[in-house]
Amino acid sequence: MSKFIIARDNFKLKVGNSDVIFLGTNGWYDTPTGSTISTLIKNKSFNIIIDAGFGIHRLEKYADFSKPSYLFISHFHLDHICGLHLLCKFKFKSGLNIFIRKGMKKILNNIVSKDYTVPFSKFKYKVKIFELGKNKINLPFKLVFDDLIHSVKTLGFRFEINGKVISVISDTGYCENAVRLSLNSDLLITECSYLPNEDNKLWPHLNPQTALKLKIQSNSKKLALTHFAADKYLTINERLNIK
């Protein structure tokens, strides 16, 4: 078995009765290699969307808009939220629930406002915003979240769905919280911004080796790499040739 799975835009994985679909796999900016970061977990009962880069436009291709939908935003760097500009075009029949870090609701409402895009109040469906750690939330799956190490506060997520665990580790350096969120996961999804053996303590990210270390330390069954820095991984082959 390969040490890790290399995600590309439109790439799909099966985890239990859920499909994991990589809508966008680039970090920083879009290139012919990929759109900026967004991932869909499609279950027969709901949609989970993690981050809202421009890859989120592919929701129309894959999501079931008749089902409840939950969007989790790890942090507010632009490559993770630029796709918020597209939300007004979708048709979430059961509305959209957005989950953000505690204290960020005002910022989110300022971004999705008439100064920058169509405001939430003009959407043709209802949007509910929840601050994680502040609101009491009832969800059809088990959620655990915690802080990661990045240039700003970033959230990592652990979803338990019908007995299967999918951990999503967004922008971060290697840290113990990432290990805890990933323990015994069926699928561990991590960012892989840096090239092999590259590091930068001032702007922490994972590289293939630190992502693999996280898989081993957490005893995760499978590791999928995504969020490849657009200025470092210039072609799909450069991703596929990672060793």
The CB-based long-range contact list for 201-209 (8 Å cut-off, 24+ gap) reads 201/173, 202/151, 203/150, 203/151, 204/149, 204/150, 204/151, 204/171, 204/172, 204/173, 205/150, 205/171, 205/172, 205/173, 205/229, 206/169, 206/172, 206/173, 206/174, 208/4, 208/242, 208/243
Share of the chain above pLDDT 90, in %: 96
Q: What is the mean pLDDT of residues 76-105?
A: 97
pTM of the model: 0.97
Q: What is the mean pLDDT of residues 217-232?
A: 98
In CATH, what number is assigned to the domain containing residue 208? Answer: 3.60.15.10
Q: What is the mean pLDDT of residues 200-228?
A: 97
The more confident residue out of 31 and 201 is 31
**pLDDT confidence band for 137 (50 / 70 / 90):** confident
The first and second tokens of residue 16, run together, are: 């239990």
Q: What is the mean pLDDT of residues 56-68?
A: 97
pLDDT of residue 1: 43
Whether the predicted pLDDT of 172 surpasses 60: yes
pLDDT of residue 243: 79
**pLDDT confidence band for 136 (50 / 70 / 90):** confident
Spatial CA neighbour of 39 closest among 188, 183, 163: 188
**pLDDT confidence band for 2 (50 / 70 / 90):** low
Share of the chain above pLDDT 70, in %: 99
Q: Which range of residues forms the domain containing residue 230?
A: 5-240
**Mean pLDDT (the chain, rounded):** 97
Number of domains in the chain: 1
pLDDT of residue 224: 98
pLDDT of residue 111: 97
Q: What is the mean pLDDT of residues 4-13?
A: 97
